[in-house]
Amino acid sequence: MYSRFFNFRDGDFILRSDCPYDDKLMCSAKSVDFRVHRCVLSAASPLFEGMLSLPQPATEDDQVIPIIPLSESSTVLETVLRLIYPMAEPVIQSLDDIAPALEMSRKYDLSVPLDRLRRRLVAPDFLESSPLRVYGIATRFEFMEEARIASRAMLHTSLSDQIPHEDLKHITAYDYHRLIVLREQRARSAVELLRPPRELKCMQCNGRWPKIEDAPRWWSDYRERAVEELRLRPTSAVIFSLPFLQRSAQSGCTGCAASILSSSWFFDQLKRKIDDLPATI
């Protein structure tokens, strides 16, 4: 069976998928033939250039097209070839498609597909849904910039919320430890910033003597829940949200809601300090 995208009449050799190298080209029923151009593959990969420059064995029929068996699946091979040829890029909607395509691109020294797949790896949809898996793939292929981007995204989620996947088996203890240290150090530093200034007042519960030196009643509830949240997700995304602040206002006196509203200057300063903390491995 031929590929629907890669069956060029002027193609001068065939890449056969799902076919570990064998002299008899004994391949699986899933094998697909990709009739492609020597010049395109040679330009895309020094390895293919060397492979295709080797003398071909003589055949009785000069019209026979050389076949190169590859172990990669037809899906992976099609994805990589579409990233090489001047055509519409494949729509990659799952991380399941990225790792094997990256493996093939690295195996055959295909720099263009490798660069494009690296950009897709850290796309917002993958970082939001599966940041730990993105981190695992990035560290597996030693993509340091992508690993840093994924480590930042991991700050916005709890580790226990991440679904186990085969890709996570490739994370080394060293790389996982760096991720844990980043989260713990950032959480600890953020918690240390949760100190109310003397100017934080509620006219109802700490605006008059003898409680003028105390923090407003809403502060203890806010700090307790903020500490818990920062240990799970050490970012400013949740603890300054309106629903989070409303719960603290309800825990205080009748004047605490107004106190929180008038303390926007404090929350702005605190948010900037937390956001300025180290956020990547």
pLDDT of residue 268: 97
> Where does the pLDDT of residue 277 fall: very low under 50, low under 70, confident under 90, or very high at 90 and above?
very high
Q: Which residues pair with 14 in a beta bridge?
A: 35, 67
Give me 3's structure tokens: 């590929």
Q: Which residues pair with 36 in a beta bridge?
A: 13
Q: Residue 227 and residue 271: Cα distance in Å, rounded?
A: 14
Does residue 60 carry a pLDDT above 70? no
Residue whose entry in the numeric block shows the structure tokens 């009748």: 254
Q: Residue 14 and residue 108: Cα distance in Å, rounded?
A: 16
Cβ atoms of 110 and 80 within 8 Å: the answer is yes
Q: Which residues pair with 33 in a beta bridge?
A: 2, 16
Average pLDDT, integer, range 86-110? 94
Strands 33-36 and 2-7: parallel
Among 22-36, 77-91, 196-210, 244-258, where is mean pLDDT lowest? 22-36
User: Comparing C-alpha atoms, which of 189, 197, 203, 204 is closest to residue 279?
Assistant: 189
Among 33-47, 178-192, 199-213, where is mean pLDDT lowest? 199-213
pLDDT of residue 58: 53
Average pLDDT, the chain: 91
pTM of the model: 0.88
Does residue 28 carry a pLDDT above 90? no
pLDDT in tens, 130-145: 999 999 999 999 999 9
Residue 207: Cβ within 10 Å count: 13
Looking at the chain, the whole-number percentage of residues with pLDDT higher than 70 is 94
Residue 97: Cβ within 10 Å count: 17
CA angle 20, 120, 123 (to 5 degrees): 145
Residues 6+ apart with CB under 8 A from 116: 83, 89
> Where does the pLDDT of residue 51 fall: very low under 50, low under 70, confident under 90, or very high at 90 and above?
confident
Q: Which residues pair with 16 in a beta bridge?
A: 33, 69
What's the distance, CA 62 to chain centroid?
Answer: 49
Does residue 102 carry a pLDDT above 90? yes
Cα-based distances in Å from 115 to 104, 110, 119, 122, 138: 13, 9, 6, 12, 12
Give me 75's structure tokens: 């899906």
Cα-based distances in Å from 157 to 45, 57, 198, 237: 39, 57, 33, 10
Among 13-17, 134-138, 149-153, where is mean pLDDT lowest? 13-17
